[in-house]
Amino acid sequence: MSDYSDIKDMKAWLEGERSGVALALNTARGGLRILETLGVIGRQGLGWALGNRPPVPALLRTTFESLGTTYIKLGQFIASSPSIFPEEYVEEFQRCLDRTPPLPFHYIRDTIERELGQPLEELYQSVDPKPLASASIAQVHAAKLKNGQDVVVKVQRPGVRNVLLTDFNFLYFAARITERLAPGLSRSAISGVVEELQAGMLEECDFIKEANNLKAFNAFLRDTGNTRAVAPEPVMSHTTGKVLTMERFFGVPLTDMNVLRKYTDDPAETLISALNTWFSSLMLCDFFHADVHAGNLMLLEDGRVGFIDFGIVGRIRREAWDGMAKFFDAIGRGDVRQMAEAMAVIGMTREEVDVDALTRDIENLQGVLGQVDPSALVQADRNDKEVNRLLMDLVKIGEGHGIRFPREFALLLKQFLYFDRYVQVLAPEMDMFSDNRVDIFAGLDDNGGGMLH
């Protein structure tokens, strides 16, 4: 009996030691990361002192790119948030790219085996050592399960979560100091933005949550009788917080017109399926896909629209979408005054809005909208720039009238503008707003209740 107790005590001691070692290692890594961050900032500051003085937005962008994952993501957040950040910063951070060199395959193997607890060969029939995609948070590989099913395996890069936590704690601390030293900045809630971004990025690092998003989206499709769209089904037996195995889709990107026509005689119908699915998800699903850029929408070989990459999702209150729906409805009918009235409702302001003056300014913006080259959409880098340019113009008009938009509006409008440009590229003969096959307000009835038209 005493031997048994001794063994239990020894196991408890070992577990305690292991936890202590892990904590010490994480603390050490965190300290090293802070030193690395301060080193990069110091080098940039020295360059500035020695006369290398590019514009501040450009200096900040290059510094962010030198600091890696967290700061690149923060730069992309700035680029897509003209309702929060100054125009010159939004413009500059359009150039903030997230193209990460691929990890050697042995890192991928090690992570999979450690997370799933078995040798790679016992888990999969095969895994292609060459990645399909490589980004700052994860790397994706094609694979086959033992039963022959084609899948993709999304594997988190080593140490990413710890780097994110260290970086964001450092950023939050710096933001709080900045707000105390310059009280006028507190109105922009810098620390609040940091907290929001940290929560979003840490959620993106939790592959169990992404797997649950995939399952929930497919459940939403089944519940609404939607057979025209689909998301990959996760393989939960081969999924953890750092490894996500899911069904592999075969098809073509929705923006490749030349290849698309080989799969369908009616690109417009494919777009309508994607549009109706996304709009109905705003009210009938717990979340909406918040990153519908080129590459995350596919036309599958069986004719369905595939929605992929659910690491970034958004949520919106019914009341907020009701106001935005009126705004989109006004766009569709060309009712500029209703657009102005809706903007006054959606935006946060204590001032009386001159709706007549706002209407005149929006009329000028509509002329700019009509001059955008739709073919720019199929090029990812120019696509983001075009979409953000339009968004910045709209936000700037609102701010000129004392209106500040909530970020949920900017996020939704960005996705909406993507779809608007997609229509012009793939089905220019179709009027998205007047076509009775497109239901922009799916999920909203006259009383704000949910329904699928």
Per-residue model confidence as pLDDT tens digits over 142-163:
999 999 999 999 999 998 888 8
User: pLDDT value at position 451?
Assistant: 31
Are 154 and 244 a contacting pair, CB within 8 Å? yes
Q: Which of 116-130, 165-179, 231-245, 288-302 has the lowest mean pLDDT?
A: 165-179
Residue 164 has a pLDDT of 84
Question: Stretch 125-145: mean pLDDT, rounded?
Answer: 94
Q: Which two tokens stand for residue 290?
A: 């918040």
Between 26 and 221, name the one with better pLDDT.
221
Per-residue pLDDT reduced to its tens digit, 39-86: 777 777 777 777 778 888 888 888 888 887 778 877 877 776 665 677
Q: Tell me the pLDDT band of 445, cut-offs 50, 70 and 90.
A: low
135 in helix, strand or coil? coil
The answer to whether 175 and 190 have CB atoms below 8 angstroms apart is: yes
pLDDT tens across 77-98, in order? 777 666 567 778 877 887 776 6
Q: Which pLDDT band holds residue 410 (cuts at 50, 70, 90)? A: low
Please provide the size of the chain in residues: 453
pLDDT value of residue 28: 57
pLDDT band with cut points at 50, 70 and 90 for residue 141: very high
What is the average per-residue pLDDT within 318-330?
74
265 pLDDT higher than 70? yes
Query: What's this model's pTM, rounded to 2 decimal places?
Result: 0.74
**CA-based Rg of the chain, rounded to a whole angstrom?**
24
62 to 95, 230, 367, 420, 443: CA distances (angstroms): 10, 39, 35, 32, 43
- The 10 Å CB-count burial string (b at 16+, else e) for 24-34 is eeeeeebeebe
Long-range contacts of 369-374 (CB under 8 A, 24+ apart): 372/421, 374/421, 374/424, 374/425, 374/428
Return the structure tokens found at 97.
Answer: 């790219």
Looking at the predicted structure, is the pLDDT value of residue 412 above 60?
yes
Q: What is the pLDDT of residues 353-385, one digit of tens each?
A: 888 888 888 887 766 555 545 444 444 444 555
| Residues marked as catalytic | 291
C-alpha 350/C-alpha 290 separation (Å) is: 29
Buried b / exposed e over 143-176, threshold 16 CB at 10 Å, is bebeeeeebbbbbbbeebbebbbbbbebbbeebe
Residue 250 pLDDT exceeds 90: yes
High-pLDDT (> 70) share of the chain, %: 75
Encoded tokens for 422: 């997609």
The residues with which 156 forms a beta bridge, in sequence order, are 138
Element (H, E) at 96: none
